[in-house]
Structure 1
Amino acid sequence: MMRWRHTGGRSLFFLAAVIAGVHLQRNDRSVQPASQAQIYQPVLQPSEAVPPIGTYMLKNLVGKPCIKATVGAEFIVIEKKKTWYFNLDPSSVRTAGYCGREAAVLSLTLPDNAASLQFTFRKENNLFYVTNVTVHVSPRPVCQGCANKTYSGLLADQQLFAAAKGQSYYCKSENLLLTSPELRIKLVPLQMQAFTLPRGHYGEEVECWADFNHRVIPVIIGAIVTGVILIALLTSLFLKDRRREGYDRL
């Protein structure tokens, strides 16, 4: 009996060691070396696609919304006289920034800081607007053998997307911002509001000039064309009446 117990103990010890070894091997395979960790890099495309629309909100220290933006953003890169495109994916964006009384910042950033779009807001009296737009993207190289490169741009001391307190700037038309010779940013559509956001909802919309022109110019052209047609008809009728009067006199 003693011999059987000793043999059984050795067997159990061996079996436990094998199981532990298998467990350790699985753990070793599941751990990735730090050198193999993948870094997020946007992939530039040779043709445009409609950018997905995201809604981003930033709250102040007491939890009240102070910035809200709904936008589709497209990065346009100029490299070796060719144009490349990249759309900001709202599902991957991290929202950050800060809210002050007269200045606020909304920053939209992709993982590993691979791309970012930042708006700096300013408030003056009863008006808010965007004064700075900062943008950068660090994409995969566009060609074999090309080095990794970061494209950056800045628009400073501007008065963009202005609206009155409690109102929101709204534009369905494209807003193309030339931030540097190599990088542009297209915003379409765009709605934003800063500093005053009751219950986090947009206020009355302030229509951009591009939308106003697209809406009003066809009406004006139609009215002009209609007026010209009416003038031509009236002139024709008037001339016919004059001719008839001349024949009656004869």
Structure 2
Amino acid sequence: MALRALAGGWCLVLLAATIPGVHPQGNDSSVQPATDSGAQIYRPVLQPSEATPPTGTYTLKSLAGTTCIKATMGVEFVVNEKRKTWYFNLDPSRVKSSGYCGKEAAVLSLTLPDNGASLQLTFRKEKKIFYITKLTAHLFPLPVCQKCANKSYSGLLDNDKLFQTANGHSFTCKSENLLLMSSELSVKLVPLKMQAFTLPNGHFGKELECWADFNKRVIPIVIGATVVCLILIAVLTYLFIKDRRRQGYERI
């Protein structure tokens, strides 16, 4: 009987070694069922300091194979809680793009693994213009401290006309676009270049510059021109006064 039991035990060991997924179970209650040790849940890590987000290019094609949305941008999530500010930059290499294309509406969804973070942009076409009418953001980061509870942050902008652009043109902005999604969550897009619905051969059309970039470019020129004019007026005034004094001396 002892030999049979020993032989039976060796058979179980051999089966466990040769058949994948088979593990010998004992009477010890601490032995757990087999799990996939390679499976890991992705969670964003908040940072106490801000850094420039990496720029990614995201495209979405219709069922016909034509590009209906193209966006090049860096995305930063900003969390404000208990008078502290935390940051998380979206990594383009981890982002999955999805959505749908319609004649008057299109959606681009950017999602990280395990829904750790997501950003959804809803585009609307109206006559000769298009714009973003809805923006949804979600962030489920790791707690910032060991005793801190798990918490997710979500926000929504709805019924807006963000980044309004003529159809066939692209909206471009090198300046920061900070969008307040909720009392605790903001999304920063920098730099930003996007176009929806009409993209000939999948390429961006003529650029429409945002007001922030326009002001940064034009205001220094206006100020410089104003300073030059003032200097020129001062020089001309000085020469005029000097010439009048000289004429007065000649009459005496």
What does 1:79-158 correspond to in 2, within 5 Å? Answer: 79-158=81-160
Residue by residue over 1:49-102, the C-alpha shift from the partner in whole angstroms, topping out at 9 and shown as x without a partner, is 110000011111222111111010000000211000000000000101111111
- My pick for the range that moved more, 35-44 or 205-214, is 35-44
Report the 3-state secondary structure (helix = DSSP H, G, I; strand = E; otherwise coil) of the residue aligned with 2:145: coil
State yes or no: 1:41 paired with 2:36.
no
Whole-Å separation in 2 of the counterparts to 1:17 and 1:117: 51
In structure 2, the CA distance between the partners of 1:26 and 1:76, relative to structure 1 (3 Å rule), is same
Q: Give 1:134's aligned amino acid.
A: T
Q: Is the 8 A contact 2:133 2:160 kept in 1?
A: yes
Whole-Å separation in 1 of the counterparts to 2:178 and 2:223: 26
| Larger helix percent | 1
**What is the CA RMSD across the aligned residues, in angstroms?**
2.4
Q: Give 1:207's aligned amino acid.
A: E
Structure 1 unmatched runs, 5+: 1-14
TM-score, normalized by length of structure 2?
0.87
In structure 2, the CA distance between the partners of 1:231 and 1:208, relative to structure 1 (3 Å rule), is same
Percent identical residues: 65
Q: Is the 8 A contact 2:132 2:161 kept in 1?
A: yes
Q: Give 1:39's aligned amino acid.
A: I
Q: Give 1:167's aligned amino acid.
A: H
Matched with 2:166 is 164
Structure 2 unmatched runs, 5+: 1-9, 24-32
Report the 3-state secondary structure (helix = DSSP H, G, I; strand = E; otherwise coil) of the residue aligned with 1:214: helix
Whole-Å separation in 2 of the counterparts to 1:25 and 1:152: 43
What does 1:13-52 correspond to in 2, within 5 Å? Answer: 21-23=16-18, 33=35, 37-52=39-54
Deviation at 1:16, TM superposition (A): 9.6
Pick the aligned partner of 2:79 from 77, 80, 88.
77
Deviation at 1:162, TM superposition (A): 1.4
Whole-Å separation in 2 of the counterparts to 1:34 and 1:206: 50
Give the total of aligned pairs: 236
Q: Give 1:230's aligned amino acid.
A: L
Deviation at 1:34, TM superposition (A): 6.4
Whole-Å separation in 1 of the counterparts to 2:117 and 2:55: 16
Matched with 2:210 is 208
Pick the aligned partner of 1:62 from 64, 82, 88.
64
Whole-Å separation in 1 of the counterparts to 2:214 and 2:37: 54
Q: Give 2:155's aligned amino acid.
A: G
Pick the aligned partner of 1:245 from 235, 244, 247.
247
Q: Give 2:126's aligned amino acid.
A: E
Whole-Å separation in 2 of the counterparts to 1:92 and 1:219: 42
TM-score, normalized by length of structure 1?
0.88
Matched with 1:197 is 199
Residue by residue over 1:157-209, the C-alpha shift from the partner in whole angstroms, topping out at 9 and shown as x without a partner, is 11111111111111111111011110011100101111111111111111111
